[in-house]
Amino acid sequence: MSERHLAVVVLAAGQGTRMKSTKPKVMHELAGLPLLGHVLTTANALGAAHVVPVVRHEKEAISAYITEFFPTAVIAEQDEIPGTGRAVECGLQALPNDFDGVIVVTSGDVPLLDVSTIETMLATHLDGGYAASVLTTFLDDPTGYGRILRSTDGEFLQIVEQKDASEQQRAINEVNAGVYVFDAKLLRNALAKVGTHNAQGEKYLTDAAAELLHEGHRVQAVSIDDEWLVAGINDRAQLSEVAAELNWRINRAWQLAGVTILDPNNTWIDVTVAIGQDAVILPGTYLQGITEIGAGAKIGPECVLVDTKVGEGATVIKTHATGSRIGDGASVGPFSYLRPGTDLGADGKIGTFVETKNAIIGAGSKVPHLSYVGDAEIGTNSNIGAGTIFANYDGVKKHRSTIGNDVRSGSHNVFVAPITIGDGAYTAAGTVVRRDVKPGDLGMNVAPQKNIADWVLTKREGTDAAKAAQAAREANSN
């Protein structure tokens, strides 16, 4: 079948009241994408000439997302007539008038449906010369789903919605998965004859299949064993169930691709993440957004990496990083916080209780512990002493600091931006650096130490400290 003869209509007009949310149901996220994003990605992967999402409730928010991330899709709007049949009818109106190919209809809240399943369904539909094909599955608890009625020889007869079904029909556990393939011309004609004479007062798409049968056309029901592929999401409990299943599949796929995931049940990976071979992912790790993990890197335990690139052989432990880059062989953590704009060079180090932001840290340079590095550039092979603060804000504007190559800063320094420390310079412990330090110089402003004799004995008389001091004096005098 030529791609130009294929269209995909995605139903995204439902209100989704059971989500109990101000956010449209199809915009709730699952493994890094909105539900609708998963469905539209699959639709695009089919190579269809036309992808038509149908919207209604919260249409502005949904349309904005579609326009930004799926600009080739043609958005259709459902009118006041309710029902899936009417939604598809509105979607058909967005297609060229001369389109006479095959139409796939799916739902914006069925995110796990994959390309392979749809392609198999398309193949059986075309090979068998069917007017319509309905995807089905079997559920232990079919409550809420339309039931599939078959003849004694297994041929498809009808779909009966839950509220229209008899007690006998409700006992059937083969259900409508809400995914269809239709001949476009025949579907248009059938929908024109479908009414709203049912318990819901809606125009059902399922009635179009019944109409085609009534007209003598062939309709098939294609069943699949993997019910998760067609699992719909109507509330947050179902969202979490599908999320867990999808995460299990993502983790397993990475394991089979050569990634060690020690505890898949406690490792969450978005579909947008890329991981290199022989990487090791430890428990409590969340890899989100456009995150890349290099080959042989070790991540975790207890890391959250969002839109972050980690180089080959790097180690990241108990760290939260967003919008950052960690170079090959570098080490980060534990208890590090990398904010957007952090760029750690190869073999560099961001250590314990260190926060960085808009910081470029050169290859081999280290910020080992208890420091804040904001709006700064540090050269190669430099070492920032413990407890160092880059004071980048003057109360009105942010300023930038520049630290050269092979610099050694003392512990408990404060760099008051804007400041430049030249290559090979040193700064003494406890220094507040307000002026530039030239290459090779030592920057210091430490005041001479002054000891006040007998201060504890006179000012803290009777305390444990005074008693200890007195005892030490007496021992030293003997």
369 catalytic residue (yes or no): yes
Domain presence at residue 147? yes
71-75-78 Cα angle (round to 5): 165
Q: Is the pLDDT of residue 300 over 80?
A: yes
345, 329 in Cβ contact below 8 A?
no
Q: With bands split at pLDDT 50, 70 and 90, how would you rate the model's confidence at 95?
A: very high
* Residue 377 DSSP one-character state: E
Tell me if 315 is assigned to some domain. yes
Number of domains into which the chain is organized: 2
Specify if 101 maps to a domain: yes
Give the span between the Cα atoms of 354 and 372, in whole angstroms. 6
CA distance 131 to 212: 7
| Nearest C-alpha neighbor of 109 from the set 174, 62, 72 | 62
CA distance 366 to 327: 13
What's the number of CA atoms in the CB half-sphere (13 Å) around residue 295?
3
Q: Are residues 190 and 290 in the same domain?
A: no
Residue 337 φ then ψ, to 5°: -130, 105
Note whether 195 and 304 are same-domain residues. no
Does 275 map to a domain? Answer: yes
- Say if residue 202 is in the same domain as residue 309: no
Q: Which residue out of 214, 320, 369, 399 is catalytically annotated? A: 369
Claim to verify: residue 280 and residue 216 sit in the same structural domain: no
Contact 148, 159 (CB under 8 A): yes
Same-domain pairing of 171 and 214 = yes
Using omega within 30 degrees of 0 as the cis cutoff, is the peptide bond preceding 301 cis? Answer: yes
359-388 tens-digit pLDDT:
999 999 999 999 999 999 999 999 999 999
Do 219 and 338 share a structural domain?
no
Mean pLDDT calculated for residue range 128-133: 96
Rounded CA gap, 431 and 62, in Å?
54
Q: Are residues 192 and 276 in the same domain?
A: no
Tokens matching residue 185: 């011309």
Does any domain span residue 448? no
- Is beta strand 325-326 parallel, antiparallel or unpaired with respect to 309-310? parallel
Q: Are 14 and 162 found together in one domain?
A: yes
CA pair distance 297, 158, nearest whole angstrom: 54
CA-CA distance, 341 to 65, in Å (whole number)?
Answer: 26
Tokens linked to 352: 């314990």
Task: List, in order, residues 6 or more apart from 68 with CB less than 8 Å away.
Answer: none
Confidence of residue 446 (pLDDT cuts 50, 70, 90): confident
Rounded Cα–Cα distance for residues 80 and 213 (Å): 28
In a domain, 458, yes or no: no
Task: Name the domain boundary from 184, 210, 230.
Answer: 230
Same structural domain, 213 and 322: no
* The model scores a pTM over 0.85: yes
Domain CATH code at residue 147: 3.90.550.10
Q: Tell me the residue range of the domain where 345 lies.
A: 259-443
Q: Are residues 7 and 155 in the same domain?
A: yes
Cα distances (Å, whole numbers) of residue 388 to 410, 414, 464, 469: 8, 6, 33, 33
Per-state percent for the chain, helix, strand, coil, to nearest 5: 25, 30, 45
296 falls within a domain: yes
Q: Is 13 helix (H, G, I), strand (E, B) or coil?
A: coil
What's 408's domain CATH number? 2.160.10.10
Q: Please give the distance of CA 18 from its chain centroid, rounded to a whole number.
A: 23
Cα–Cα distances (Å) from 265 to 218, 249, 269, 293, in that order, read: 45, 11, 11, 19
Whether 370 maps to a domain, the answer reads yes
Q: Are residues 266 and 202 in the same domain?
A: no
| Domain shared by 194 and 281, yes or no | no
The per-residue pLDDT for range 170-203, each reduced to its tens digit, is 999 999 999 999 999 999 999 999 988 777 778 9
